[in-house]
Structure 1
Amino acid sequence: MTQFTKDDVQYFANFVRIGLSDEEAEVYAEQLADMISFTNVLREVDTENVAPMTHPIPLYNVLREDVPRDVLDREEMLKSVKEHEDGLIKVPSIL
């Protein structure tokens, strides 16, 4: 089993600019050792006939084909906006 000391944890914490107390470093050292030992348990699982996957649920492309079509008449749409000019909707400037 891999052991981590509080000095190891302090090194990692300094590397990523996180301040830890000595008590926190001791707790995290134990937790890191537990996580590493758990990965060793996972290595023992038989995955011989298991296909690699990127997601546990099969995903399919559910998007429709992008076909241009007239949904709303431009003149009808422009009747519902406050300001428009040359067939375009005027919006407030944000920058």
Structure 2
Amino acid sequence: MNAPKLRWVLFGAAVTFMIAVLLTSFFKEIEKIDVLASALDGRMEELVKEERKTQKLKQDIRYYSTPEGIARLATEQFNLVQSGDRIYKIEITSKDSLQ
């Protein structure tokens, strides 16, 4: 049996080296894609959360633009009452203050 010629050995080594380099770069790119995909997922979750917050704030703006919303805001934040409303004052006495 004849020994392989040197050029075929070099050709085989070169092809093997090129395949190794291509596979290595391929797997590195796959790893980068995974990192970018996870970062994108995180950003999408953040975007959805902010979008929900924006929708809630828009709802609040629409509600507090109505007369009922203005009345509720005045009652909650400024302790204002409308005529005819009953005001209850709750006093709490603890046993510690009695001694």
Do Structure 1 and Structure 2 share a fold, with TM-score over 0.5? no
Instruction: Determine which structure has greater relative contact order: mean sequence separation of CA pairs < 8 Å that are 6+ residues apart, divided by chain length.
Output: 1
TM-score by length of 2: 0.34
Q: Which has the larger radius of gyration?
A: 2
Would you tell me which structure has more strand in proportion to its own residues? 1
Structure (1/2) with the larger helix percentage: 2
